[in-house]
């Protein structure tokens, strides 16, 4: 079975995680896919297959004779889809010999258009998988799941020497929990790869440093007719706070390695107000400076309006994986070498977000991210390229070969 056929099968299984849950997995429906994958792995001959109580799926392919001392490597993907756009009743549509133009997505009124996704122009002649415009496709990250499963089946059916290979699938990546409860001893790898990227050429080993910030404002409410020199409007204070942040450092005006402050929500009245932000930057130094900027604004406003007027609470969320990948950089070098052997021209793009690989890297498993050949994630414009999914599957196999070759 080819990877795209598996994607179509897995996409129809509803696995959206839930922001509101306090347990792992956040949604029991993720077990539906986990158990299917476990059964498929057992059928193809994967060893030590299990699904634990938190919906983590484990499997191993033992080394071929004479290659037991090769560095144990692992490949991981996540089971869940985003909770904030429908992931149920997915109806994947296969478009053969794509003409490079706009695609009407079912009867939804939405169009997958090269004007919005310029890379579509480069895909003329390829085979695309798209949605009907009412749901996500779920290629994030069921394309990665499908590619790992297909690579495992091909490896087990081939006469190809290899070292120990581990397979893992995690729940709740889309809500930031991801690999936090993955049992690394049970997983059994020394180096790993998440298969959760996009463009077929991108091998990612840098991500944002990340923090969340909540800013509350205390006002003083009196009758507006007698408010002179008395009223303090908390909603206006919130607007003032935001105006003092660098106004060009927002997601819609930044790219590449450029960081940002992102205002997620705001609410309030004269009496009280609250702003919620996320703070992102690839550079640890600039990330620290961004947090200090917020602290300075809060301090300045409290000096002006009175101590306790502004309360700032910041929480670190994750860090740039490169810090932990650099000491074992062969995990990146092997991926680049494998990509070139597959006829690809690999590039290193920074992830403008987080990844299970960052979490795993800081837990002791250096874990860059491999591409999946899917695009437009987290919404109805999600799409995958059949031929690129095949390439990503071959890339996994070639990485295994690279490690076996020493």
Instruction: Name the segment(s) of the chain with CATH classification 3.30.70.360.
Output: 209-318
The mean per-residue pLDDT over the stretch 197-224 comes to 93
Average pLDDT value over all residues in the chain: 96
Terminus-to-terminus CA distance in the chain, angstroms? 30
The answer to whether residue 166 scores a pLDDT higher than 90 is: yes
Helix, strand, coil percent content, the chain, rounded in steps of 5 = 35, 20, 40
Q: Which of 156, 49, 97, 131 lies closest to 375, judged by CA?
A: 131
The answer to whether residue 406 scores a pLDDT higher than 90 is: no
Residue 361 pLDDT level (bands cut at 50, 70, 90): very high
Residue 176 pLDDT level (bands cut at 50, 70, 90): confident
The mean per-residue pLDDT over the stretch 90-96 comes to 98
Q: What pLDDT is attached to residue 353?
A: 82
Where does 209-318 sit in CATH, by number?
A: 3.30.70.360
Share of the chain above pLDDT 90, in %: 93
Cα Rg of the chain, angstroms: 24
The answer to whether residue 172 scores a pLDDT higher than 90 is: yes
The mean per-residue pLDDT over the stretch 378-391 comes to 97
Range with lowest mean pLDDT among 97-101, 201-205, 240-244: 201-205
| Per-residue pLDDT reduced to its tens digit, 242-282 | 999 999 999 999 999 999 999 999 999 999 999 999 999 99
The mean per-residue pLDDT over the stretch 196-207 comes to 91
The answer to whether residue 326 scores a pLDDT higher than 90 is: yes
Q: What pLDDT is attached to residue 19?
A: 87
Instruction: Choose, from 40, 173, 204, 356, the residue flagged as catalytic.
Output: 173
The answer to whether residue 22 scores a pLDDT higher than 90 is: no
Residue 354 pLDDT level (bands cut at 50, 70, 90): confident
Residue 201 pLDDT level (bands cut at 50, 70, 90): confident
Distance (Å, rounded) from C-alpha 323 to C-alpha 340? 25
Instruction: Name the segment(s) of the chain with CATH classification 3.40.630.10.
Output: 3-206+320-405
Longest dimension (CA), the chain: 87
The answer to whether residue 92 scores a pLDDT higher than 90 is: yes
Residue 360 pLDDT level (bands cut at 50, 70, 90): very high
Q: What pLDDT is attached to residue 198?
A: 83
DSSP conformational letter for 193: E
Instruction: Choose, from 80, 140, 249, 390, the residue flagged as catalytic.
Output: 80
Q: Residues 20, 49: contact at Cβ < 8 Å?
A: no
pTM above 0.75, yes or no: yes
Q: What pLDDT is attached to residue 355?
A: 82
Q: Residues 87, 32: contact at Cβ < 8 Å?
A: no
Residue 84 burial (10 A CB sphere; 0-12, 13-18, 19+): middle
Q: What pLDDT is attached to residue 177?
A: 86
The CA dihedral of 300, 304, 307, 310, to the nearest 10 degrees, is -60
Where does 3-206+320-405 sit in CATH, by number?
A: 3.40.630.10
**How far from chain centre, in Å, is Cα 45?**
29
Residue 204: CA count within 13 A, CB half-sphere = 30
Tally: H helices and E strands in the chain = 10, 16
Q: Which of 201, 192, 129, 131 lies closest to 355, judged by CA?
A: 192
Put the strands of the sheet holding 165-170 in their side by side order. 47-51, 57-61, 165-170, 73-78, 191-195, 369-370
Q: Is 173 a catalytic residue?
A: yes
The answer to whether residue 21 scores a pLDDT higher than 90 is: no
Q: Is 80 a catalytic residue?
A: yes
């Amino acid at each position: 079975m080819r990877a795209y056929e598996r994607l179509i099968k897995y996409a129809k299984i509803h696995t959206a995680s839930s922001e509101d849950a306090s347990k792992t997995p956040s949604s029991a429906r993720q077990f539906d896919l986990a158990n299917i994958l476990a059964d498929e792995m057992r059928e193809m001959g994967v060893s030590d297959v299990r699904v634990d109580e938190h919906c983590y799926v484990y499997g191993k392919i033992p080394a071929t004779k004479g290659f037991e001392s090769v560095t144990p490597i692992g490949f991981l993907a996540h089971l869940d889809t985003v909770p904030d756009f429908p992931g149920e009743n997915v109806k994947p549509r296969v478009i053969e010999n794509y003409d490079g133009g706009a695609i009407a997505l079912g009867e939804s009124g939405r169009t997958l258009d090269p004007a919005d996704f310029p890379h579509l122009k480069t895909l003329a002649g390829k085979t695309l998988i798209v949605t009907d415009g009412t749901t996500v496709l779920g290629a994030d990250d069921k394309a990665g799941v499908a590619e790992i499963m297909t690579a495992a089946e091909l490896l087990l059916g081939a006469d190809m020497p290899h070292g120990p290979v581990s397979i893992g699938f995690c729940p709740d990546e889309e809500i930031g929990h991801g690999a936090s409860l993955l049992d690394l001893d049970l997983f059994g790898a020394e180096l790993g790869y998440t298969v959760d990227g996009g463009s077929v050429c991108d091998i990612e080993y840098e991500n944002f440093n990340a923090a969340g910030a909540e800013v509350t404002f205390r006002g003083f409410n009196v009758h507006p007719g007698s408010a002179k020199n008395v009223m303090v409007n908390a909603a206006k204070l919130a607007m003032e706070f935001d105006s003092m942040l660098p106004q060009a450092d927002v997601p819609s005006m930044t790219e590449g390695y450029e960081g940002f402050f992102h205002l997620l929500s705001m609410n309030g009245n004269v009496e009280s107000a609250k702003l919620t932000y996320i703070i992102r930057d690839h550079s640890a130094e600039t990330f620290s400076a961004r947090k200090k900027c917020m602290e300075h604004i809060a301090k300045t406003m409290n000096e002006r309006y009175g101590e306790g007027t502004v309360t700032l609470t910041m929480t670190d969320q994750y860090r740039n994986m490169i810090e932990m990948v650099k000491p074992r950089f062969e995990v990146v070098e092997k991926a680049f070498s494998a990509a070139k052997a597959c006829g690809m021209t690999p590039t290193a793009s920074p992830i403008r977000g987080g990844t299970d690989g960052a979490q795993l890297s800081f837990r002791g498993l250096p874990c860059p991210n491999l591409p999946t050949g899917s695009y437009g994630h987290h919404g109805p414009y999600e799409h995958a390229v059949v031929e690129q999914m095949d390439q990503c599957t071959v890339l996994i196999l070639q990485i295994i070969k690279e490690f076996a070759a020493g």
